[in-house]
Amino acid sequence: MQLLAWYDQNKRPLPWRLDQASLRDPYRTWVSEVMLQQTLIPVVIPAYQRFLKKFPDVFALSLATEDELRPLVKGLGYYRRFGMLQRAAKIIAGVSPPGKPLWPENQDAWKVLPGIGEYTSAAIGSIAFGIPVPVIDGNVERVLCRLADIRQAPNLPELKPRYRQMITKMLGNPIATARPGDFNQAMMELGQRICTPKSPDCGACPISAKCASRKAKSQHLAPAPKIRPAYEEVRLQMIIGLRRGLDGKREVALFRRGSKSKFLKGSRGFWYGETRDLPSGTENVGSFRHSITKHKITADVQILEMKPATKKSCKISAWTKESPDWVPAGVVENELISNLDVKAWRLVTRRLQP
Ligand code: SF4
């Protein structure tokens, strides 16, 4: 099969693939697939390596605390998926004898675990267990649209059965059936590197002979642009409480966001709200734009200088119910997981510089 020959010659040497060459470890496949769900490969690579160093197996991950986990996945976004990964690790470790993980036996059993859906279960099943199930992501959808010259939006739900039918037929080739994990990765990599959205490199494509779009010279029409969800504009006020600590150095107020927070539930960061009512004494240091899922946020950043620390705990203002953790200003950026908080903090540091 030409696709697999191309893949063997051209695949990227990604760390999780090198791992799989020496040992077929479902844990490593699972961690890499969860990281890749929402994040680009160059950002995932260093995060994957530090994650595996700290949590080399499912048992180590099952014992992780949130404070250990968060810094390791900093910058990847959408923390919720890692909370679910840890919960699922706990379930697997809980039913396994020491040191011998009992992995779910099939795709349906994987899907029972928190955070694992159709895509991830198929990726783990095919890559780590050699089960011939197709993996269909956005890149694969684009390749399939071009192969069949489908000139519709690729994310139309009615196209899903057609994609499944097409790729199942391709996966039925005996060479692909023998290497389903490589077949799936080859299709995804072809979409990422050769059959790109704007300028497909058809001359380098291993499946060009079967491509209807190429024949019709309609690569720019197939697929049509995606249907985008409607975005919701949100205006947030972010308030960064500052004070002098007992040692005279500057400290910053960080809050643990509760389960009812609109954004970034469970993360630690600055206070935010949709209020227009600001406490007296706040000073605006600027605004920035940020997107979280379908929300387009405009955040106004305010600093609020508080009285110097005493031994008693101190709320940053009467309108916050919770007391913050006061963190030394020099290390606060390391504590921030979300880019929403990092962007706000950068505005503050610009203002605080002499
Ligand atoms: S021939 Fe071109 S358009 Fe067709 S699948 Fe290959 S890269 Fe994509």
Region of 4 (left: φ > 0; alpha: ψ -120 to 50; beta: rest) is alpha
Burial class of residue 134, CB neighbours in 10 A (0-12, 13-18, 19+): buried
Quick: pLDDT tens for 3-60.
Answer: 999 999 999 989 888 766 556 789 999 999 999 988 889 999 999 999 999 999 999 9
pTM of the predicted model as reported, rounded to 2 decimal places:
0.72
Gap between the Cα atoms of 347 and 332, Å rounded: 13
Using the predicted structure, report yes or no on whether residue 252 has a pLDDT greater than 60: yes
The C-alpha angle 350, 282, 288, rounded to 5 degrees, equals: 45
Q: Which of 199, 224, 222 is nearest to 211 (CA)?
A: 222
3-state DSSP assignment of residue 296:
strand
Rg (CA), the chain: 24
Gap between the Cα atoms of 90 and 264, Å rounded: 23
Atom of ligand 1 minimally distant from the CA of 211: 4
Cα of 222 to ligand 1 centre, how many Å?
10
Residue 1 has a pLDDT of 80
Quick: pLDDT tens for 157-167.
Answer: 999 999 999 99
Is the beta carbon of 205 within 6 A of some atom in ligand 1? yes
Domains assigned to the chain: 1-131 (1.10.340.30), 136-170+186-228 (1.10.1670.10), 232-352 (3.90.79.10)
Using the predicted structure, report yes or no on whether residue 196 has a pLDDT greater than 90: yes
Cα of 187 to ligand 1 centre, how many Å?
11
Give the closest residue (by CA) to ligand 1 atom 1: 208
Quick: pLDDT tens for 255-295.
Answer: 988 888 888 887 889 999 887 778 788 899 999 999 988 89
